[in-house]
A = this chain, B = another copy of it.
């Protein structure tokens, strides 16, 4: 685990030797690997954006000891490893490269819930447990595991931690990083680090788990984690609010937080155009308002009070916002069915945008105080470069996180607009950078944003990242070519 000279880069990759493949198969036994092209295919391709790779072998270890042995064999033979969870990522981080010289290690069979400690508000789970199952297990002991995102039915907790997943409740509970107390990790030399501590306070040196969270498998393979559980809210209220502008939505957020505090759980922004795309391309959606407004906020509050107890505080908060001119109009659903319909407007955005036209996606964040300026400047710059471009912006404004996805002008072909990707990225991300924002708020770097991160991150920070990578993975065998390039 000491650094020694430059690490091998991708050019040096060679096919995985047959005798190594045999040793790896022997580690996991017949139930633990896949090698038929049809079986392997789903592990080599992403569900979005067409990341396609190749591998001779997908390993599916059933326990940490097998992961450890796999990594030892690979380290000895200098065979790079691509760790993979539910393969739901959006930046090409979990598929192998096309050269075929890597093996995939899937965590899908590491799916034991090792311990639930309700008194300690913790749960120890293996990396392959599906997020929805983690949520359900917490509910079984009357607790909440608050991480919640679109892919929760198939993504795995190990992947969620490796990518520091965000989702819709970050405003109140934080990112995945904030929801984990301890990790078990198979290190790049095959040793198992047992860091499964369930402690709220532990100041005994560098907090090493922080390096693996968000590392996208480039420093080791997370095999288990101690997760934080929270009290289950007994009361939830929601509202859809029409506002004049993104800047007004941020002022409203501040006002609502002053009166409702951390009970404000979700605060999502939607542009009018996004609603129109949904109404035009999908069935069964309804506009909750009689008139159209330029922007909308979908918000949710939750707490421990009696059912209905948050309705009045929320109404009061919205009324105050109305008095101040921040709220143009508002509806509060009075049934679960109404609530579901409001949320559908937010949740169907991916599908609606896909049906509307070719879009170029950005997952950015800026300080909340700069959100209005970001959207104004990005809109203007894109309109100037691409007259008629269809603006589309929505996202977790409570976290400063906007999914800013301009769609091709109606007069353009999708292919022609897709060819502008580089240039559009530069326009949007230069503005983000100028506002001290992030070019990847919640999706990670993977391969998609690796080169761009080199453009925008401070050199000192890139140097430190490379120094840590070299120190912990000196042979560059853990998911090489993702997140960072070590010899740049």
A interface residues (Cβ-Cβ under 8 A, vs B)? 1-3, 117-122, 142, 163-164, 166, 170-171, 174-175, 177-178, 187, 191-208, 210-211, 213-215, 219, 230-233, 250-251, 254, 257-263, 303-305, 313, 365-370, 396, 399-401, 436-445, 449, 453, 456-458, 460-465, 467-472, 483-484
Contacts and interface: CB of A to CB of B under 8 A. Distances in A.
A257 B251 CA distance: 31
A370 B199 CA distance: 11
A365 B467 contact: no
Contacts of A445: 203-205
Given A261-B233, A438-B197, A460 B122 contact: no
6 contacts: A121-B368, A198-B367, A205-B465, A208-B464, A210-B210, A262-B262
A476 to B, nearest CB: 14
Given A259-B304, A304-B261, A399-B200, A368 B206 contact: no
Given A187-B460, A400-B120, A461-B195, A441 B201 contact: yes
A146 to B, nearest CB: 11
A437 B456 CA distance: 40
B214 A203 contact: yes
Contact of A214 (B117, B170, B206, B260): B206
A117 to B, nearest CB: 5
B204 A439 contact: yes
Contact of A3 (B170, B257, B458, B471): B471
A243 B461 CA distance: 50
Contacts of A469: 206
Q: Which 7 A-B pairs have the closest CB atoms?
A: A210-B210, A471-B471, A119-B369, A261-B304, A202-B438, A201-B441, A193-B460
A262 B144 CA distance: 12
A251 B399 CA distance: 34
A441 B200 CA distance: 8
Given A206-B211, A214-B207, A231-B258, A401 B201 contact: yes
Contacts of A442: 201, 203
Contact of A467 (B1, B230, B400): B1
Contact of A200 (B195, B261, B401): B401
Contacts of A396: 201
B258 A201 contact: no
Nearest to A193: B460
Given A122-B367, A201-B166, A231-B261, A471 B465 contact: no
A364 to B, nearest CB: 9
A405 B131 CA distance: 42
Contacts of A462: 205
Contacts of A233: 261
B369 A205 contact: no
A370 to B, nearest CB: 8
Nearest to A117: B369
A439 B201 CA distance: 10
Nearest to A251: B119
Contact of A210 (B207, B303, B436): B207
B121 A203 contact: no
A195 B436 CA distance: 10
Contacts of A261: 230-231, 233, 303-304
A453 B369 CA distance: 43
Nearest to A366: B199
B458 A467 contact: no
A200 B457 contact: no
A369 B119 CA distance: 5
Contacts of A121: 254, 257, 368
A119 B373 CA distance: 13
A85 to B, nearest CB: 15
A216 to B, nearest CB: 9
B257 A231 contact: yes
A258 B142 contact: yes
Given A201-B175, A304-B261, A467-B472, A211 B214 contact: no
A137 B484 CA distance: 39
Contact of A254 (B119, B187, B210): B119
Contacts of A440: 202-204
Contact of A441 (B199, B214, B438): B199
A400 B203 contact: no
A202 to B, nearest CB: 4
